[in-house]
């Protein structure tokens, strides 16, 4: 696994490291630049003040007071923020690694060798600790202590009538959403394998994967749009309903119908993912295997269910667990369309509402822990499955 010990001899071609002072200075400069840029990005009218100061320093007082009184024009201001943000964000991270690496160069070869790995993994590990490990533990602690403590929060998470509705909906989402995406994805993957212009057909199904859930929610809100009977229906589904002589349905206001309607949106988004993974798996099934089955007189369905499907079992499992986890955490679609009203709530949305709207941090934390408990077994299945197949990139 390793490339052996680090070689610290310096070749003539190698750049000599800056002195310790230089390295420390570059690190300091980096910190100052970062703080300066940060202030620039967060302070009100940062660009205005910077430009004003710039003009004043070069002696263009007229320009400076113009900015002071009227402010910078919005486009210039925006562009400045973009440039600083990109330089700061993209350049900053590289400057940081170069500076810390130089700093380590100053130590004796032995110390440097011991420190070097931490220059490489340190920042990532620190980020993970700060953003995942500590908050994760914090959430568990809060679930057990905030809002009346562990028992109250547990009672809330598993007996509150509204939460029970959300759980029921989550089960519907999981079962119908996952099954829908995987089955349709598998069907499409099998069908497109037999037509010309396969790539084109796939693109149509695949494209929703590039669309945000908020965007998808708006797109489907238009499809499900409802107006009272007698008015012109501009939502596709209600136009069809009135066209065949039925009353238009307020899809989002009708309990259960709204959940089912929103699950359709998720299936629309996720089928492309299932299709791509399964299609690749189907193509990797050895041709000889399929042909042998045909020669033995197996029908198309028999070949599919007895030969192809067992060969792609691993891929089906991966797709199923991956989509299942995504669906379990679904939030945007419900938030944007119904907001969880009319009995359409789901756990992730409720968690957000408890956190941001009601400030019930203990309850929100308990719901998050509940999500984790459901996700973990799925993830374990997923990782094991990947490992069994031999992970390739």
Partner 1 sequence: MTATTTPEARRTRTAGVDPVGTGFWSKAPVRMAVVLIAVAWSLPTVGVLISSFRSPNDINASGWWTVLVHPFETTWTFVNYQNVLTADGMFDAFVNSLIVTVPATVIPITMAAFAAYAFAWIDFPGRGILFAVVVGLLVVPLQMTLVPLLRTYNVLGITGSFAGTWLAHTGFGLPLAVYLLFNYISTLPRDIIESAAVDGASHFTTFTRLVLPLSMPALAAFAIFQFLWVWNDFLVALVFLGTDSEVAVLTARLNELVGSRGQDWHVLTAGAFVTMVVPVVVFLGLQRYFVRGLLAGSVKG
Please report, as residue ranges, which positions from 157 to 216 form the binding site for partner 1 (by CB under 8 A).
Answer: 188, 191-195, 200-201, 203-215
Q: What is d(CA 221, CA 286) in angstroms, rounded to the nearest whole number?
A: 44
- Which one of 21, 151, 244, 356 is in contact with partner 1 (CB under 8 A)? 356
| Choices 18-26, 47-55, 171-179, 321-329 (CB under 8 A): range interacting with partner 1 | 321-329
CA dist list (Å): 20 to 34, 98, 99, 246: 21, 14, 11, 81
- The residue among 378, 377, 360, 379 whose CA lies nearest residue 163 is 360
Residues of this chain, 258-317, that bind partner 1 according to CB under 8 A: 268, 271, 273, 276-277, 280-281, 283-284, 287, 290-291, 294, 300, 314-315
- The residue among 273, 265, 262, 266 whose CA lies nearest residue 209 is 273
- Work out how close the CB of 143 gets to partner 1 at its nearest, in angstroms, rounded to a whole number: 9
Q: Which is nearer to partner 1, 11 or 110 (CB)?
A: 11
Q: Which is nearer to partner 1, 97 or 305 (CB)?
A: 97
Rounded to the nearest 10 degrees, what angle do helices 134-145 and 149-159 cross at?
Answer: 90
- x/- mask, partner 1, residues 210-249, rule CB under 8 A, reads xxxxxx-xxxxxxx-x------xxxxx--x----------
Burial of 209 (0-12, 13-18, 19+ CB in 10 A): middle
- Work out how close the CB of 28 gets to partner 1 at its nearest, in angstroms, rounded to a whole number: 19
| Choices 19-27, 58-66, 83-91, 155-163 (CB under 8 A): range interacting with partner 1 | 83-91
What sign does the dihedral 241-247-251-256 (CA atoms) show?
Answer: negative
Does position 123 bind partner 1 by CB under 8 A? yes
- Work out how close the CB of 52 gets to partner 1 at its nearest, in angstroms, rounded to a whole number: 19
Cβ count near 224 (within 10 Å): 21
3 state SS of 106: coil
- Which one of 25, 32, 82, 289 is in contact with partner 1 (CB under 8 A)? 82
Residues of this chain, 25-44, that bind partner 1 according to CB under 8 A: 37-38, 41-42
What length does the chain have? Answer: 393
Under 8 Å between Cβ of 179 and 267: no
Look-up of token digits 């007229």: 62
Does position 151 bind partner 1 by CB under 8 A? no
Q: Which is nearer to partner 1, 30 or 201 (CB)?
A: 201
| Choices 21-29, 48-56, 158-166, 353-361 (CB under 8 A): range interacting with partner 1 | 353-361
């Amino acid at each position: 696994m390793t490339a052996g010990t680090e070689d610290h001899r310096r070749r003539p071609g190698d750049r000599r490291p800056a002195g310790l002072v230089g390295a420390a200075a570059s690190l300091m400069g980096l910190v100052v630049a970062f703080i300066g840029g940060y202030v620039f990005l967060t302070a009100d009218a940062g660009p205005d003040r910077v430009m004003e100061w710039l003009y004043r320093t070069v002696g263009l007082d007229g320009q400076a007071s113009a900015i002071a009184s009227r402010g910078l024009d919005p486009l210039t201001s925006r562009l400045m923020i973009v440039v600083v943000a990109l330089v700061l964000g993209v350049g900053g991270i590289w400057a940081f690694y170069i500076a810390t690496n130089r700093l380590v160069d100053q130590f004796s070869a032995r110390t440097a060798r011991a420190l070097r790995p931490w220059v490489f993994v340190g920042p990532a590990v620190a980020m993970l600790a700060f953003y995942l490990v500590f908050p994760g533990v914090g959430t568990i602690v809060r679930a057990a202590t905030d809002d009346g403590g562990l028992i109250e929060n547990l009672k809330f998470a598993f007996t509150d009538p509204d939460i029970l509705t959300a759980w029921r909906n989550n089960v519907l989402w999981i079962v119908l959403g996952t099954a829908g995406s995987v089955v349709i994805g598998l069907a499409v993957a099998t069908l497109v394998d037999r037509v010309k212009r396969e790539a084109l057909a796939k693109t149509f199904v695949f494209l929703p994967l590039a669309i945000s859930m908020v965007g998808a929610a708006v797109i489907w809100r238009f499809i499900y749009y409802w107006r009272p009977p007698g008015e012109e229906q501009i939502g596709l589904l209600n136009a069809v309903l009135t066209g065949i002589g039925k009353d238009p349905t307020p899809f989002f206001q009708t309990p259960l119908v709204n959940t089912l309607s929103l699950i359709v949106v998720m299936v629309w988004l996720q089928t492309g993912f299932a299709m791509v993974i399964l299609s690749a798996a189907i193509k990797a099934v050895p041709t000889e295997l399929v042909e042998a089955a045909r020669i033995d007189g197996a029908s198309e369905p028999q070949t599919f269910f007895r030969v192809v499907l067992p060969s792609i079992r691993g891929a089906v499992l991966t797709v199923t667990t991956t989509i299942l986890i995504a669906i379990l955490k679904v939030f945007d679609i419900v938030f944007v369309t119904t907001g969880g009203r009319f009995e359409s709530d789901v756990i992730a949305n409720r968690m957000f509402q408890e956190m941001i709207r009601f400030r019930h941090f203990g309850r929100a934390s308990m719901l998050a822990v509940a999500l984790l408990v459901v996700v973990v077994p799925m993830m374990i299945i997923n990782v094991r499955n990947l490992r069994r197949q031999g992970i390739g990139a």
